[in-house]
Structure 1
Amino acid sequence: MEGLAGALAAHRPELLRFLTARTGDGALAEDLMQEMWLRVREGRPVSIGNPRAYLYRMAQNLVLDRLKEERRRMARDLQWSSSRTDEHGADLDRSDPEKQMIEDERVARFTAAIAALPPATGRAFRLNKIDGLGQAEVAASMGISRSGVEKHIARAMVHLRRSLAGED
């Protein structure tokens, strides 16, 4: 193997560790590594001065792209679910612009507060509270203890309460 594909094969273990550290999820790191492999194989052959640095930049960009994609998905899902009902499940009166504006602001604050969580804390919160996984499942998915998951969720809840109360 030559060029970038050869560099990717040679640096695969360290890139995988890098991706795992950045995402906190071994399975996601493997997915991103596969995506890197596909991009390298499908790309045009070019001469790159420092293939290792190029691959690390590619890996970091993939992590950032995945994070942005997840945040957009969460915001869209949150907006969709809150646009139909309030926090008690009652249909919202869409004919009242003031109520709509207040609800839209609340959704925007909540979405921003979730996006502002540290990566591991946000991931634990989303897996548990939004995706509905139990704490043991979250712990297994993230490769941490159940106690670690509990701490992340507690931190997230404190942060969200403060953010929604306007303290942050």
Structure 2
Amino acid sequence: MSAGGLKAVFLAERPMLLRLLSSRLGDPDLAQDLLQELWLKLEATATGPLADPAAYLFRMASNLALDHRRSTARRIQREQGWSEVQPSHAEYATAEDTLISRERLAEMERAIAALPERTSAIFRAYRFEGASRKGIAADLEISVSPVEKHLQRAYRAIHIIRDGEGVDAARA
């Protein structure tokens, strides 16, 4: 069956596909979204001859619903894990702890600022902007190895601050 024929079967079976997704997900709006995603997959994917195109579409819809439920379960598990390691209201820092943390953060910022300009720029791009090492290397027209060495230098400076040796030791 051609892609056009499969789309015609999709259009004919659309109400049943929507009903299947709604029953599997329990959310009609989400079912509409996944039905749209199914249509986009049909647009993007070239298919060969199919013996039973309707069964193929229903299997695709079932798989989309299952994938969505699995990803939702993983997201919930991640969020629960994250909330478990966050401090409770009773564990919030005192004013003194907050002041100490701010001073240490300021020391780290000074340590990063004291690094050579290129090292600081690479560190900021990697840690704050989310750029990959490979992407940074391509932007600077260098290999990945020097990028990693710059990052090591920056991390060393931060570890020195974290271990309480101060900004002067980080410059060394």
TM-score scaled by length of structure 1: 0.50
The residue number in structure 1 matching 2:7 is: 5
What is the CA deviation profile of residues 119-151 of structure 1, one whole-angstrom value per residue up to 9, with x for unaligned ones?
Answer: xxxxxxxxxxxxxxxxxxxxxxxxxxxxxxxxx
| Alpha carbons 1:3, 1:47 under 8 Å: kept | no
Task: Give the gaps of 5 or more residues in structure 2.
Answer: 93-172
2:81 to 79, 82, 86: 79
Structure 1 90/52 Cα, relative in aligned 2: closer, same or farther at 3 Å?
Answer: same
User: Once superposed, what is the RMSD of the aligned Cα atoms?
Assistant: 1.9
Q: Deviations over 1:45-98 (max 9, x none)?
A: 321110110111101100110001001100111111111225x6536xxxxxxx
- Indicate if the aligned counterparts of 1:23 and 1:63 stay in contact, CA closer than 8 A: yes
Alpha-carbon deviations, 1:5-57, whole Å to 9, x = none?
A: 11111100111011111111100000010000000111013211101101111
Task: List aligned pairs for 1:48-127, cutoff 5 A.
Answer: 48-85=50-87, 90=91
Q: Provide the C-alpha distance between the structure 1 equivalents of 2:8 and 2:90, rounded to a whole number of angstroms.
A: 55
Alignment-derived partner of residue 47 in structure 1 = 49
Letter in 1 for 2:31: A
From 32, 35, 51, give the equivalent of 1:33. Answer: 35
Match of 2:91, as an amino acid? A
Q: Distance in 1 between matches of 2:62 and 2:41?
A: 14
Given that 1:4 and 1:51 are in contact with CA atoms closer than 8 Å, whether structure 2 keeps it comes out as yes
- Structure 1 alignment gaps of length 5 or more: 92-168
| One-letter code aligned to 1:85 | P
Relative distance call for 1:25 and 1:89 in structure 2 (3 A) is: farther
Distance in structure 2 (CA, Å) of the matches to 1:60 and 1:28: 13
Select the structure of larger CA radius of gyration. Answer: 2
Indicate the percent of aligned positions where both proteins have the same amino acid.
Answer: 41
SS of the residue aligned with 2:51?
coil
Matching of residue 24 in structure 1 with residue 26 in structure 2 = yes
Which one scores higher on RCO, CA 8 angstroms, separation ≥ 6? 1
Judge conservation of contact 1:7–1:52 (CA < 8 Å) in 2. Answer: yes
Aligned-partner Cα distance in 1 for 2:13–2:76: 33
Q: Which amino acid aligns with 1:20?
A: S
1:146 counterpart residue number:
none
**Mapped partners of 2:64, 2:22: distance in 1:** 12
